[in-house]
C-alpha cells in the first residue's frame, strides 16, 4: 500500500499551514462553521449509540462503539474539507519552519475557533428542535445530560490532561490521513486514533462545544425536570459558566499542548530539522 513517509507528511503539513495562514477570513469562518457542525454530528451520533448500550454490552465496549461512530466527524472535516481548530494546531509546523507568521497562526486559530463554536451551536439548536432526544422515552436525553454534567464537573487538572491526550491523538489522525494517498487509507488513518481518544475518555474542546451546550439546553426543558433531579448535585454545575470555566478553557489549553507541541513541534524537530542534511 502506497503512503507518504513521515518526512513527506511533515513537508505536506508545512505547506498546509502556509495555505491555511493565507485563507481569507470569510473562508475561515464558513469552513470553521462546517467543521463545528461536522464534529457535532459525530458527537450527536456518539450520544445516540451510547443510549441503552452500556447495560447490554458493558461500559468498555459501549465506549468503543461510541468512539467508532464519533470518528465520522473528523472524516467529514478532512475529506469533505473544513477548518477545525484542533487540527489546525499543526500549523505550528509552518510557523517554526518560517512559512507561517505568528500573526497568521493566531488569526487562523481565533476565527476558526469562534466559527467552530458557531457551527456547534447551530447543530445543538437543530438537534434540540428535532426532539430526537425523546428517543427511548427520554433515554437519549438522559445520556446527553449525564455526558455534559460529567464534563463540567471535572477538575482543571483532569480536563487539561485529558485535553492533551485527546489532541495528541486527533492530530495524529490528521497526520495519518495526510500520509494516506487514497480515501480508504484516510478513513482508516482517521478511525483508529479518533476511536481511541473517545473510548479513552479524553476531552476535545470542539466536541464539547456540542456536548455541553446540548446538555444545558436539555436541562432547561421542563419535561426533563425529573431526569435532572435524579442526577443530583452534579447537575448544578451544568451552566454556561460551568461550561466555559470548568471545561472549555482547560480543555482548549490541553488540546493546544497535545496537538501543537506533542505532535507538530515534536515532528518538526525530528523530521524537518534532522532531514536538512540527511536523506529521510
**Distance of CA 278 to CAs 83, 93, 269, 271, 275, Å?**
33, 19, 14, 10, 5
Does 278 reside within a domain? Answer: no
Does 277 reside within a domain? Answer: no
Cell triple for 129: 428542535
Does 94 reside within a domain? Answer: yes
Q: Give the per-residue pLDDT at 271.
A: 85
Does 29 reside within a domain? Answer: yes
DSSP string over 103-163: HHHHHHHHHHHHHHHHHHHHHHHHHHHHTGGGHHHHHHHHHHHHHHHHHHTS-HHHHHHHH
CATH of the domain at 207: 1.20.1080.10
> Which pTM does this prediction carry?
0.95
Q: Give the per-residue pLDDT at 274.
A: 54
| CA distance between the termini of the chain | 19
Report helix, strand and coil shares of the chain as percent, to nearest 5.
Answer: 85, 0, 15
Does 178 reside within a domain? Answer: yes
Domain that holds residue 236: 6-272
| Residue the block writes with cell 536523506 | 279
Q: Give the per-residue pLDDT at 280.
A: 46
Does 160 reside within a domain? Answer: yes
Q: Give the per-residue pLDDT at 272.
A: 73
Q: Give the per-residue pLDDT at 2.
A: 80
Number of H helices, E strands in the chain: 15, 0
Q: In tens digits, what is the pLDDT along the chain, a chain of 280 residues?
A: 588 999 999 999 999 999 999 999 999 999 999 999 999 999 999 999 999 998 899 999 999 999 999 999 999 999 999 999 999 999 999 999 999 999 999 999 999 999 999 999 999 999 999 999 999 999 999 999 999 999 999 999 999 999 999 999 999 999 999 999 999 999 999 999 999 999 999 999 999 999 999 999 999 999 999 999 999 999 999 999 999 999 999 999 999 999 999 999 999 999 876 555 444 4
Does 201 reside within a domain? Answer: yes
Does 280 reside within a domain? Answer: no
Domain count, the chain: 1
Beta-ladder partners of 180? 3
Distance CA 181, CA 35 (A): 22
Amino acid at each position: 500500500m502506497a503512503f507518504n513517509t513521515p518526512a513527506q507528511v511533515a513537508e505536506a503539513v508545512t505547506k498546509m499551514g502556509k495555505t491555511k495562514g493565507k485563507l481569507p477570513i470569510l473562508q475561515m469562518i464558513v469552513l470553521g462553521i462546517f467543521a463545528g457542525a461536522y464534529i457535532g454530528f459525530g458527537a450527536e451520533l456518539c450520544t445516540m449509540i451510547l443510549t441503552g448500550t452500556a447495560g447490554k454490552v458493558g461500559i468498555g465496549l459501549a465506549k468503543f462503539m461510541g468512539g467508532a461512530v464519533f470518528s465520522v466527524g473528523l472524516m467529514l472535516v478532512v475529506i469533505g474539507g473544513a477548518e477545525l481548530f484542533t487540527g489546525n494546531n499543526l500549523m505550528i509546523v509552518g510557523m517554526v519552519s518560517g512559512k507561517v507568521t505568528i500573526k497568521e497562526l493566531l488569526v487562523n486559530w481565533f476565527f476558526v475557533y469562534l466559527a467552530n463554536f458557531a457551527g456547534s451551536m447551530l447543530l445543538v439548536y437543530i438537534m434540540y428542535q428535532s426532539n430526537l432526544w425523546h428517543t427511548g422515552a427520554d433515554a437519549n436525553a438522559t445520556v446527553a445530560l449525564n455526558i455534559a454534567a460529567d464534563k463540567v464537573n471535572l477538575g482543571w487538572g483532569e480536563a487539561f490532561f485529558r485535553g492533551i491526550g485527546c489532541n495528541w491523538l486527533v492530530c495524529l489522525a490528521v497526520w495519518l490521513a495526510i500520509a494516506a494517498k487514497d480515501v480508504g487509507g484516510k478513513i482508516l488513518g482517521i478511525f483508529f486514533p479518533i476511536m481511541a481518544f473517545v473510548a479513552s475518555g479524553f476531552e476535545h474542546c470542539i466536541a464539547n462545544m456540542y456536548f455541553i451546550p446540548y446538555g444545558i439546553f436539555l436541562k432547561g426543558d421542563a419535561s426533563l425536570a425529573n431526569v435532572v433531579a435524579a442526577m443530583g448535585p452534579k447537575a448544578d454545575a451544568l451552566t454556561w459558566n460551568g461550561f466555559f470555566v470548568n471545561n472549555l478553557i482547560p480543555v482548549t489549553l490541553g488540546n493546544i499542548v497535545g496537538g501543537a507541541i506533542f505532535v507538530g513541534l515534536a515532528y518538526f524537530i525530528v523530521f524537518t530539522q534532522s532531514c536538512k542534511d540527511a536523506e529521510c
